[in-house]
Copies of this chain bind each other. A is one copy, B any other.
Amino acid sequence: MSSNFGHTFRVSTFGESHGPAVGVIVDGCPPRLALDVADIQQDLDRRRPGQSRLVTQRKEADAVEILSGLFEGRTTGTAISMLVRNADQNPGAYDHLRDVYRPSHADFTYDAKYGFRDHRGGGRSSARETIGRVAAGAVARKLLEVVAGIEVLGWVSQIHDIEAAVDASTLTRDDVEAGPTRCPDPEAAAAMVSAIEQARSDGDSLGGVVTCVARNVPAGLGEPVFDKIDADLAKAMLSLPAAKGFEIGSGFAGTRLTGRQHNDAFMPPARPGGAPTTPTNHSGGVQGGISNGQPIVFRVAFKPTATIASPQDTVERDGTATVLAARGRHDPCVLPRAVPLVEAMTCLVIADHWLRQRTVDVLGRDGGDR
């Protein structure tokens, strides 16, 4: 459903860029989880504008208020509602867009769908909608840590043609957060900073890739057929603004290997009764749509920001040709701020599947026979 995501751990988001507020309802979080506003705010602070000179300078504190579902510092099991007021509203700043479609934005398609032009900063298609996702993802992250020690970690692995060299197996959050790019390869990160600043001064923008790993995911998460955990991750990632591609494990590069090269041999488990291990992980931690106990690793492609300061050919609502040059504050590159979005959606998908697996594990090996 349009504004809903998840089957058992479910979120519903609402809100437009320049309306009164954005937010989310989280339904299906188990009761008695210790949770407070700081758990949510720290992830929101990682996505908000104005964190560094690399990203948009729109000033928003994005302070979250929890409206329901908490009692004496614990979740109650009922719907958790969270709200962030839009502080930096300046609808007048968008008046020049009332009748014009910004290229490669959702302006025309929303009008085609709804017969409606909410020209104020993209309305519902604005990246501010993702505030609700990040807030919900923070709840999922907390749940996954407590119940299973699952850790979800994303980073910028490519901006434009600059690729980072990263050892995913030893990477920590501190490595990622060490600089404003969220690229943990310092050399690449420095080049990325230069490239982003150059793009800004050129009135241009850059895209790139976020890589994400989920560690300690137990084997057995994911459903056969349609709700495969990698299929749900793919949907989650393509639902993010500006995302154009998703690949898991070997991905597109793996199509150039042969089966002998690509198959992940099984080795005996590290400890008796454990999951078998695989010396390679071309599967990306998922086989047949179900986690195999190895790290889940995937990559998400983000196009260059559509809003650029350079003049562009476009049309007005009535079809007449015009030229548009963006004004105001924009991100010349969204990649650093995309990291918490990718992590949030990953936490939502894994939390959902972790809970779903609880409904499978109800009969013992003997099928409950007595």
Taking CB atoms and an 8 Å cut-off, the chain A residues in 153-210 that contact chain B are 158, 160-161, 199, 202-209
Q: List 9 A-B contacts (CB under 8 A).
A: A3-B25, A3-B226, A20-B68, A30-B362, A104-B287, A204-B260, A208-B255, A245-B246, A282-B303
Interface size on A, residues (CB 8 A): 170
- Does A46 sit at the interface, judged by CB under 8 A? no
A357 touches which of B113, B259, B261, B282 (Cβ 8 Å): B113
- Does A90 sit at the interface, judged by CB under 8 A? no
Task: Annotate A75-89 by CB proximity to B: 1 below 8 A, 0 otherwise.
Answer: 011111101000000
A160 touches which of B116, B255, B275 (Cβ 8 Å): B255
Is B21 in contact with A272, judged by CB distance below 8 angstroms? no
- Does A63 sit at the interface, judged by CB under 8 A? no
Is A266 in contact with B101, judged by CB distance below 8 angstroms? yes
Query: Which residues of chain B come closer than 8 Å to A150, judged between CB atoms?
Result: none
A146 touches which of B244, B256, B365, B367 (Cβ 8 Å): B367
- Does A54 sit at the interface, judged by CB under 8 A? no
Is B146 in contact with A369, judged by CB distance below 8 angstroms? yes
Task: Annotate A91-134 by CB proximity to B: 1 below 8 A, 0 otherwise.
Answer: 00000000001011110111011111010101111000100000
Residue with the highest number of chain B CB atoms closer than 10 Å, among A158, A161, A276: A276
| Chain A contact residues: helix, strand, loop or mixed | loop
Query: Which residues of chain B come closer than 8 Å to A232, judged between CB atoms?
Result: 235
- Does A59 sit at the interface, judged by CB under 8 A? no
A353 to chain B, nearest CB (A): 10
Query: Which residues of chain B come closer than 8 Å to A114, judged between CB atoms?
Result: 31-32, 76-77, 360
* A13 and B225 in contact, given A112-B219, A124-B76, A259-B304 (Cβ under 8 angstroms): yes
Query: Which residues of chain B come closer than 8 Å to A68, judged between CB atoms?
Result: 14-16, 19-22, 124
Cα A283 to Cα B310 with chains together (Å):
19
A162 to chain B, nearest CB (A): 10
* A245 and B238 in contact, given A67-B23, A289-B106 (Cβ under 8 angstroms): no
Task: Annotate A22-47 by CB proximity to B: 1 below 8 A, 0 otherwise.
Answer: 11010110111110000000000000
Is B238 in contact with A230, judged by CB distance below 8 angstroms? yes
- Does A262 sit at the interface, judged by CB under 8 A? yes
- Does A290 sit at the interface, judged by CB under 8 A? yes
A255 touches which of B221, B247, B302, B315 (Cβ 8 Å): B302
- Does A314 sit at the interface, judged by CB under 8 A? yes
Query: Which residues of chain B come closer than 8 Å to A258, judged between CB atoms?
Result: 160, 199, 202, 204-206, 304
Task: Annotate A326-347 by CB proximity to B: 1 below 8 A, 0 otherwise.
Answer: 0000000000000000000000
A190 to chain B, nearest CB (A): 19
- Does A12 sit at the interface, judged by CB under 8 A? yes
A244 touches which of B284, B313, B321 (Cβ 8 Å): B284
Query: Which residues of chain B come closer than 8 Å to A1, judged between CB atoms?
Result: 7, 10, 27-28, 223, 226-227
Is B67 in contact with A14, judged by CB distance below 8 angstroms? yes
* A3 and B224 in contact, given A33-B367, A291-B109 (Cβ under 8 angstroms): yes
* A4 and B14 in contact, given A308-B263, A359-B356 (Cβ under 8 angstroms): no
Cα A4 to Cα B2 with chains together (Å):
13
